[in-house]
Amino acid sequence: MTEQVVLYEKKENIAIITFNRPGALNALNTEVNLKLIELLLTAENDEEVKVVILTGSGNKAFVAGADIKEMMTMNSMQARAHALKAKRVTDTIWNLGKPVIAAINGFCLGGGMEYALACDLRTASENAKFGLPEVNLGILPGSAGTQRLPRLIGLARAKEYCFTGGMFDAKQACELGIVNHVYPAESLMNETMMLAQKIASKSPHSLKLIKAAMNRGTETDLETAALFEIDCFSLCFSTQEQKDGMKKFAEKSK
C-alpha cells in the first residue's frame, strides 16, 4: 500500500493533519496540496473538531518548501495553475471556521512557511528553522508570503528575509512575533495539544466569529472593521453558549 502524503488523526476534539513526505522533508507537491484541502474541509465539516493542528512527520522538517523537483520543468501557465492550487490551501486555512495551529517541528521554508503564516497560531520546536529562500531559486514567495510576513513583522524586516533568502531560528521567530511559543522538540506536540485543548474548551461560535472579525478586520479600515465586529458580536446572542455562559456567571454572582 502506498503511504499517504498527508495524514489525518482525531484526538478527542482536535484534528491533527501531518505532512508525510519525510524523505523529501515534507515538500509540497500537487498531491499534498489536493489532499490537504480535502482534509482541512473534513475538519471543517466535523462538528466534533474544535481546533486543527498542522505538523510535519519525522524530526527534521515541518515543510521544506514547495517541491522544487516538481516545479523545475513548469512553464508559466503550469506555474500559475500550481500557484492557484497553493492559494486554495492558504485561503482554506485562513477562512476555516476553526482555529488552526502550526506545530513547527524543523525546517519551515518557502511554501511551508507561507502555510504556517496562514495559520492562526504557531508553536515551534527549539530546532526549527524558518525562511523564505525562493530568491535563491530565481522565484519569489507565491503563497502570500510577501504579504503575510510584513503584516506580522513589518515591511523592512520582511524585505530583508525575502531579499536575502536567509534562515532564522525559533528563538528569533518568537522574538519577531512569528511564533507564539517555543518548546523542546520532544514536548512540542504535547504542549501544542494543551494549547489546542484550552482553546477547544471555548465556545466554537465565539472562536469562529473572533477569527473572522480579526482576519477580516485587520485587512480593512477601522470603521468598517469595528462595524463588522459589532455584527459578529450581535450574532453571538443567537447562540446557546452565550445564554449558558452569561447565566452561569449570573448564578455564580448570586
Instruction: State which of positions 217-236 bind ligand DAK (CB under 6 A).
Output: none
Using rule CB under 6 A, residue 33 touches ligand DAK: no
Measured from the CB atom, the residue of 90 and 123 that comes closer to ligand DAK is 90
Separation of alpha carbons 253 and 198, rounded Å: 24
Cell of 223: 470603521
Among 206, 236, 198, CA closest to 101:
198
Using rule CB under 6 A, residue 110 touches ligand DAK: yes
Query: How crowded is the C-beta side of 45, counted as CA atoms within 13 Å?
Result: 6
Asked if residues 116 and 196 have their Cβ atoms less than 8 Å apart, the reply is no
The backbone torsions φ and ψ at residue 219, rounded to the nearest 5 degrees and listed phi first, read -105, 10
Measured from the CB atom, the residue of 87 and 208 that comes closer to ligand DAK is 87
Rounded to a whole number of angstroms, the minimum distance from the CB of residue 27 to ligand DAK is 4
Separation of alpha carbons 93 and 36, rounded Å: 10
Asked if residues 104 and 128 have their Cβ atoms less than 8 Å apart, the reply is yes
Measured from the CB atom, the residue of 74 and 226 that comes closer to ligand DAK is 74
Using rule CB under 6 A, residue 25 touches ligand DAK: yes
Measured from the CB atom, the residue of 20 and 239 that comes closer to ligand DAK is 20
Separation of alpha carbons 39 and 54, rounded Å: 11
Which residue among 14, 27, 182, 196 contacts ligand DAK (CB under 6 A)? 27
Burial of 122 (0-12, 13-18, 19+ CB in 10 A): buried
Asked if residues 115 and 54 have their Cβ atoms less than 8 Å apart, the reply is yes
Write the binding mask 55 to 94 for ligand DAK: x where contact by CB under 6 A, - elsewhere.
---------xxxxxx-------------x--xx-------
Catalytic positions, please? 114, 134
Write the binding mask 146 to 185 for ligand DAK: x where contact by CB under 6 A, - elsewhere.
----------------------------------------
Binding site for ligand DAK (CB under 6 A): 24-25, 27, 64-69, 83, 86-87, 107, 109-111, 133-134, 137, 139, 142-143
